[in-house]
Structure 1
Amino acid sequence: MRTNIYLIIVLSTICFSSCYREKDLKYSLNAAGKNRIELEKVLEHYKDSGPKYDAACFLIKNMPGYYSYAKSSGLDSLRKIQSVIFHKKHFPRDLQDKWSKFSYKSTPKVYDCHAIKAEYLIENIDLAFAAWQKRPWRHSLSFDEFCEWILPYRIGDEPLENWRKVF
């Protein structure tokens, strides 16, 4: 009797967890709107790939809420200034006065789930797995740790770029 109760609890937990994960994926796909087709292409591409499919699901489930800022003259100018600061390690006073009050609030956001393309995600996933499999530290990372630390295609709100090939 006790074994049956434990079995029911374990099966219920697995079922609930699976339903919850599926719900997250559906939410993300719905949040993508017209771009849902791109995300579904990724899932279709990896449907028989086991861990790569799980990785694709991880990225898509976590996509809502992530964004970059739309290109604008103000943002482009700010990036140029940041580049000067980074390379020359100084900030001219007149530019400091002009740009110290720059507000990102007025810059439109471009949400990843609305803009990301299937090719970009597929390339990112393939390159992340290649990096993971080639490195000696691969044995010390679980799949969940890989998904959290190696797989993501962005760090913050930077524009989407094919950075992984370079690094």
Structure 2
Amino acid sequence: MEITLPLNPNDLTTSYDSDTEENDKMEQNLEVLAVYEEALEIQQETLLPDYAHLVNCYDNIARIYENTKEHSKALLFYQKALEICQKNLPLNHSNVAALYNNIAGVYYTMKEYSKASSQLEYALNILKILVPKDDSNIKIVQNNIDYIKKKR
């Protein structure tokens, strides 16, 4: 049996390095996810009235699921965080806007552009109440809405 090396062995090394980095990231995500899930379990068992910690746990877990491309799980946890915020904060709170924006990002990745657009519209409406009209966040969200409309 004859083994043929690629013309440039560095290409192979780079490929292995890239695969290793990706595996390391995945393992890190899974380790971090386990920590967040444990924190969430403790939070739920103690039933502390501090909703902010619970929202942070849900948000962090959602981000990990986003990173691991488990979009429906990410949506589930973002929506849980949003429900808690909607019950405990004014509807025009910046955290609510941020969660709408995060949910929009997941929908966009899933190519569900109309859902992404409507979530961004919610975020934009909140931002228009909270920040000056020329705020960069308003411009970014509006540009994202416009970009999605072109995708449809």
* TM-score computed with the length of structure 2 as normaliser: 0.32
Q: Could you say which structure has the higher helix fraction?
A: 2
Higher relative contact order (CA 8 A, sep 6+): 1
